Amino acid sequence: MTIYQTIKDIPVSGKRVIVRVDYNVPFDKITGNISDDSRMQLTLPSLRYLINQNAKIILISHRGRPSGKSESLSLKPIGDHLSSLLGISVEVLEDCIGDEVIKKTQSMDPGEILLLENLRFYKQEEDNNQAFAVSLSQLGDYYVNEAFSVSHRAHASTESLPQLIPAVAGFLLEKEIFELGRILKSPSKPLSIVMGGAKVSDKMNLMKKLVPLSENILVGGGMAAAFLSASGHNIGISMIESNGKILATEIIAIAKSNQTNLLVPEDVVISNNAGNAESFRTTEANSIPEDQMIVDIGPKTISNFSKVLKTSNTILWNGPMGIFEIHEFSNGTKKISQTIVEQANKGGIILLGGGSTAEAAKKFDILDKVTHVSTGGGASLQFLEGKDMPGITHLMINSR
């Protein structure tokens, strides 16, 4: 496993350190306040280290997908919240490049923090424009990537900028690389992969990669419909991609050839409407009526999955088991999360990936009870698939 240099490997005292964070956090539509600041919380150890080392800290981030400058997607409220988290003032500048920004960074005091305005106010950020990256590079002496969740994107601040000034990993990025990397390199066996969510195509390459490495693959959530269809079962009005059955058939064949135990639901919770919590029942997976859809896994499946997970030393969970946002359809996800925590308490290595998985983990209060919850959705998939990560490729490697 490649070992990258971190902020501990560079002399940051008195230096301007550009830290690429991902503060694209959700806001409550009613209150206008941040509804989940976990991505911000996870960067605090790196920021506090830099503060204690008397670095001059310049934070850069994006928020949303603006078309030009938009007050509604300003980072000002994020800067205010970060100030409260750190207990020190964080000034948010009105821009992220330009002479005024350069002057401001040059007059900083050690331990001071600036948050620059939304990178995506400039189209050049997502275009990976070299001139834009050069403008950003003029603001600092070092670059720190603390934004694993966007490290799969070849943007100016993630790919071009770290090629212009010395670039290292932050503590969060270091942990992401280590925890996800050991799934691929040296997982404690048995290894079980729990796959949920709706789209097989999004996770097809990952499943191809992991099936030969795993003892068990457990399939639930919307994805289960494709596998049940591939096994010859009627799936009613359950949503399935046009190529979902073909992809599932391929995964089943790969699992068989590698003697990997592939489990699909034996029973499921069904409803005639994904949002209708008033009409639902449990049925055998081979008896789904034409006018019903799968909304959760059933009790037999929960039991089957739990028995396998209780024998596993390493578990990777990506994707919920049902429509967990609706209480009546959340039991499968809740029960699996409880079993996973039991394994964590016994010393098991438990890794969670994907945005909806993290949301479920938060809902069922297991975020701090597992080994690691990845901050990246698409990034964690791409990393585990073994694909190049533009935001990681150009970081300095530790030669020790």
The 10s digit of each residue's pLDDT in 338-359 is 999 999 999 999 999 877 888 8
| Amino acid, single-letter form, for residue 231 | S
Q: Average pLDDT over the chain, rounded to whole? A: 94
The 10s digit of each residue's pLDDT in 244-260 is 899 999 999 999 999 99
Taking 80 as the threshold, does the pLDDT of residue 400 lie above it? Answer: no
Residue 80's alpha-carbon distances to 28, 85, 90, 114, 152, in angstroms, are 16, 9, 7, 11, 28
The 10s digit of each residue's pLDDT in 40-91 is 999 999 999 999 999 999 999 999 999 889 999 999 999 999 999 999 999 9
218-241 b/e (C-beta count within 10 Å ≥ 16 → b): bbbbbbbbbbbbbeebebbbbebb
Closest CA to 175 of 17, 400, 3: 3
pLDDT recorded at residue 245: 92
Instruction: Give the distance, in angstroms, between the CA of residue 8 and the centroid of all CA atoms in the same chain.
Output: 25
Lowest mean pLDDT among 132-146, 192-206, 228-242: 192-206
Taking 80 as the threshold, does the pLDDT of residue 199 lie above it? Answer: no
The 10s digit of each residue's pLDDT in 376-398 is 888 988 898 888 899 999 999 97
Strand, helix or coil at 316?
strand
Higher pLDDT, 124 or 207: 124
Hey, which residues are catalytic here?
A: 39, 199, 355, 378
Mean pLDDT of 195-217: 87
Domains of the chain as residue ranges with CATH: 7-175+389-393 (3.40.50.1260), 189-347 (3.40.50.1260)
Mean pLDDT of 102-119: 97
Closest CA to 187 of 162, 167, 215, 163: 215
Tokens of 285: 């997976």
pLDDT recorded at residue 377: 81
Mean pLDDT of 279-305: 95
Tokens of 96: 């992220």
pLDDT recorded at residue 306: 97
Closest CA to 333 of 324, 345, 344, 343: 324
Closest CA to 126 of 400, 395, 390: 390
Q: Can you give the length of the chain in residues?
A: 400
Tokens of 350: 């438990």
Over 269-283, what HEC string results? EEECCCCCCCCEEEE
> The pTM is what?
0.89
Cα–Cα distance for residue pair 192/169, rounded to 1 Å: 29
pLDDT recorded at residue 308: 97
Closest CA to 303 of 335, 280, 260: 335
pLDDT recorded at residue 399: 61
Tokens of 27: 């806001």
pLDDT recorded at residue 343: 95
DSSP assignment letter at 72? G
Residue 270: strand pairing partners: 281, 294
- If you write DSSP's letter for every residue of 162-223 in order, what string do you get? GGTS-EEE-HHHHHHHHHHHHHHH-PPSSEEEEE-SS-HHHHHHHHHHHGGG-SEEEE-TTH
Q: Element (H or E) spanning 227, and its range?
A: helix 223-230
DSSP assignment letter at 352? E
pLDDT recorded at residue 182: 87
